[in-house]
Amino acid sequence: MTHQPPKSRVNKAYQKTVSGRYNMKVLRSLETTLFNEPEADITTALSSAYSKKLQSFRDRDRSHIARPPPNCDIRLELDENEPVTTIFPISTEVEDLFRGYASTSEAIIGLLDNSEVLYESAWAASVMVFRINENIVVKAGHESFSITEHQTLTYLTDHMPEFPLISQPQGHMKQDISRQIDLLFSKLRSFSVPEHASLGDVACGGCRDLRRAQRVSTKPIKSVAEFEDFIFEGSDTATPLYVEFLRGLMPRLNKIVFTHGDIRPANIMVRHEDGKWTVTAIIDDSIGRIASSIPSIGTL
């Protein structure tokens, strides 16, 4: 028996042409139509311009030479034959997208295959963000980070449902965005932290220090003093005198607050409507309980 390689991004995803992706999009539209109205006439569901568009895409395919897949694409790691473990319940909308596939793993590979890449991290095969459709975006990355972010999203949705979790502005528009962000994070930092709660993520996964390489606290951190001990330990180059100097720069009035550990332009979603920019979401939810002095530590 001839050995068949497992289906993955390597031998499946990059076989798609522009015309192939167009047909897949049309097929998904037809599936939605038939799901809502099983007895519908398929011929009326097709656009009158379908054949013309398909031919133009075929012409474009013939004019381009196929390129090899980039090694940094995280989808190269996916294997259709590997088992899938569902940690959190799948939404009804996502389940509908899985219809027509033989398995969950096949559905994931197929959907990501036909999705638009919105973001790729600078580190090879580390984090990628895909747009499946207008309502669903998928972030693929390291298991522990992905689980922590989902737990954070769920926690904030339950306790702060009004907090937004999911062209370039110029001049005064940037100032307006800055004010909106300031108000959002002021509100987040004022959110009441449960008594005796451990610092770190909301699932008590400990504190992470990513300033050099990832370092995770080995025991629960319950106070600002313990948090500062964690921040200042672990350096092979800083002398005790220098560490003492840095500790002296820490604010005396310090408390535990909720905040975002990776706030930067790539994690701020905005919408431009009627000449106005509105902050619609704060993503990459590295949100957790930390000492209020953390911005100062980042600066140091």
Which of 9-18, 105-114, 268-277 comes out lowest in average pLDDT?
Answer: 9-18
What tokens were used for 62?
């013939």
The CA distance from 129 to 283, in Å, is 11
- In sign, the C-alpha dihedral spanning 284, 285, 290, 291 is positive
Angstrom CA distances, 12 to 6, 101, 115, 136, 220, stand at 10, 15, 14, 22, 45
Banded model confidence at residue 17, pLDDT cuts 50, 70, 90:
confident
More confidently predicted of 224 and 70: 224
Query: If we measure between CA atoms, which residue out of 244, 214, 251, 213 comes closest to residue 229?
Result: 244
3, two tokens: 């050995």
Nearest Cα to Cα of residue 227 among 244, 249, 247, 241: 247
pLDDT for position 165: 64
The lowest-confidence range among 84-88, 112-116, 118-122, 268-272 is: 118-122
CA distances in angstroms from 105 to 83, 205, 212, 254, listed in the order given: 7, 28, 35, 47
Number of neighbouring beta carbons within 10 Å of residue 269: 14
| Tokens read off for 102 | 């033989």
Considering the chain, what is the average pLDDT of its residues? 77
pLDDT digits (tens, 9 = 90+) for 236-249: 777 888 888 888 88
The CB density around residue 82, as the number of other CB atoms within 10 Å, is 10
- Give the lowest-confidence range in 76-85, 181-190, 259-268: 259-268
Coil vs helix vs strand at 291: strand
Amino acid at 88: F
Residue range 120-161, pLDDT digits in tens: 876 655 788 898 988 888 888 776 666 777 788 788 878 887
Predicted confidence (pLDDT) at residue 111 exceeds the cutoff of 80 = yes
Note the pLDDT of residue 146.
Answer: 66
Using pLDDT thresholds of 50, 70 and 90, give the confidence band for residue 16. low
Give the pTM. 0.44
Residue pLDDT, tens place only, 183-202 = 988 888 888 778 778 888 87
Query: Domain limits of the chain?
Result: 13-108, 161-299
| 137 Cβ contact list (under 8 Å, min separation 6) | 118, 129, 130, 131, 166
Q: Is the pLDDT of residue 11 over 50?
A: no
Give pLDDT, residue 141.
79
The set of residues, in sequence order, having a beta carbon less than 8 Å from that of 203 and lying 6+ positions away, is 148, 151
Q: Which residues of 148-164 are buried (b: 16+ CB within 10 A; e: fewer)?
A: bbebbbebbeeeeeebb
pLDDT at 300: 36
In terms of Cα–Cα distance, which of 131, 127, 108 is closest to 118? Answer: 131
Compare 186 and 253 and report the one with higher pLDDT: 186
Q: How far out from the chain centre does Cα 27 lie?
A: 27
Are 27 and 47 spatial neighbours (Cβ–Cβ below 8 Å)?
no
What per-residue confidence (pLDDT) applies to 169?
Answer: 62
